[in-house]
Structure 1
Amino acid sequence: MARIRQAGIPLTVCIDKVAASGGYMMACIGNKIISAPFAILGSIGVVAQLPNVNRLLKKHDIDFEVLTAGEYKRTLTVFGENTEKGREKFQQDLDITHDLFKNFVASYRPQLSIDEVATGEVWLGMAAVDKLLVDELKTSDEYLAERAKDADVFHLHYVQRKSLQERMGMAAATSADQLATKWWGRLTQQRFW
């Protein structure tokens, strides 16, 4: 989508259901964002969660070893014992990722107050328009119907031809199926039991 916009082609993004987190990251590239009133938008934040079964393993006398090269190669683990230092490093990585996310959105949507909307919250389209996350409220069907009035619309129907290999594969499968059915019929007509 970024290449479309960089090529100078006007890009309108329509959101009928959800554009949250990475979905909003993609949508914000558009020159114009249109949202259905009840679409869910936002979630400009970063989350990571993982269970830790270290105590369960210890309870059953199961050892788990992790070998790494590099102090921060494995900051948090599912099986090992997590440290406060590891948690702090992991949180730093999340914060860095969140800053990158915010900067990305702000570069495409400079009109919005990034600190106000980059809280991880989501909004329905009706509220998202007030937050400047979207430019206009309507469904994609409404938008396309409106645009079709001023455009030449062509209905294209394209059928992809099957390759020779695909046709031969189907013929072979059909022949094998017919042969199996024929032999099954012969076997069941014999009185073996």
Structure 2
Amino acid sequence: YKRTLTVFGENTEKGREKFQEDLDITHRLFKNFVARYRPQLHIDEVATGEVWLGIAALDKQLVDELKTSDEYLAERAKQAEVYHLHYAERKSLQERVGLAASHSVEHLAGKAWEKVSQHRFW
């Protein structure tokens, strides 16, 4: 029963029935979950398969409030211990030597530029 319906093969009546049975079970479980945590709802009025977004969901008491994920996280961060983590990959010896050489060349070029600049303005 991994693929009861498919766009690539033959769909049978038995496959359609199994798919519908699975959908019905999932819908019933979802309705029970929502009814459990939102007892104020008339579950059969809102569990129709429709989608309510924003204000409509708020009006139907499907959500408590509307806000962006950034707003939610900023509020939660005020009430929690937040740590800033930084992951640094360990560089290979070749990368470290190359980086050191690059910095040395930049430093020498800077010093050379200083000398050239000083001689031009004197």
- State TM-score, norm by structure 2: 0.55
Q: Match for residue 5 of structure 2?
A: 76
Q: Match for residue 162 of structure 1?
A: 88
Once residues 115 and 169 of structure 1 are traced to their aligned partners in structure 2, the CA distance between those partners, rounded to angstroms, is 66
Q: Match for residue 32 of structure 2?
A: 103
Instruction: Kindly report which structure 2 residues correspond to 1:47-126, keeping only aligned pairs within 5 A, or say none.
Output: 72=1, 74-126=3-55
Once residues 125 and 85 of structure 1 are traced to their aligned partners in structure 2, the CA distance between those partners, rounded to angstroms, is 39
Once residues 63 and 3 of structure 2 are traced to their aligned partners in structure 1, the CA distance between those partners, rounded to angstroms, is 39
Once residues 19 and 8 of structure 2 are traced to their aligned partners in structure 1, the CA distance between those partners, rounded to angstroms, is 16
More helix by share: 2
Once residues 91 and 51 of structure 2 are traced to their aligned partners in structure 1, the CA distance between those partners, rounded to angstroms, is 49
The 3-state SS of whatever aligns with 2:36 is: helix
Q: CA RMSD in A?
A: 4.0
Once residues 172 and 138 of structure 1 are traced to their aligned partners in structure 2, the CA distance between those partners, rounded to angstroms, is 46
Larger relative contact order (CA 8 Å, sep ≥ 6): 1
Once residues 110 and 82 of structure 1 are traced to their aligned partners in structure 2, the CA distance between those partners, rounded to angstroms, is 40
More strand by share: 1
Q: Choose 1 or 2 for highest CA Rg.
A: 2
Once residues 105 and 170 of structure 1 are traced to their aligned partners in structure 2, the CA distance between those partners, rounded to angstroms, is 57
Which residue identity does 2:41 align to in structure 1?
A: L
Instruction: Report the alpha carbon displacement of residue 101 of structure 1 after superposing the two structures with TM.
Output: 1.3
Once residues 173 and 82 of structure 1 are traced to their aligned partners in structure 2, the CA distance between those partners, rounded to angstroms, is 62
Q: Match for residue 131 of structure 1?
A: 60
Once residues 6 and 94 of structure 2 are traced to their aligned partners in structure 1, the CA distance between those partners, rounded to angstroms, is 49
**Structure 2: tracts of 5 or more residues without a match:** 103-122
Identity %: 64
- State TM-score, norm by structure 1: 0.38
Which residue identity does 2:84 align to in structure 1?
A: Y
Once residues 21 and 42 of structure 2 are traced to their aligned partners in structure 1, the CA distance between those partners, rounded to angstroms, is 23
Instruction: Report the alpha carbon displacement of residue 87 of structure 1 after superposing the two structures with TM.
Output: 0.7
Instruction: Report the alpha carbon displacement of residue 137 of structure 1 after superposing the two structures with TM.
Output: 4.6
Once residues 117 and 73 of structure 1 are traced to their aligned partners in structure 2, the CA distance between those partners, rounded to angstroms, is 30
Structure 1 residues 159 and 124, CA gap change in structure 2 (3 angstroms): closer
Structure 1 residues 174 and 128, CA gap change in structure 2 (3 angstroms): same
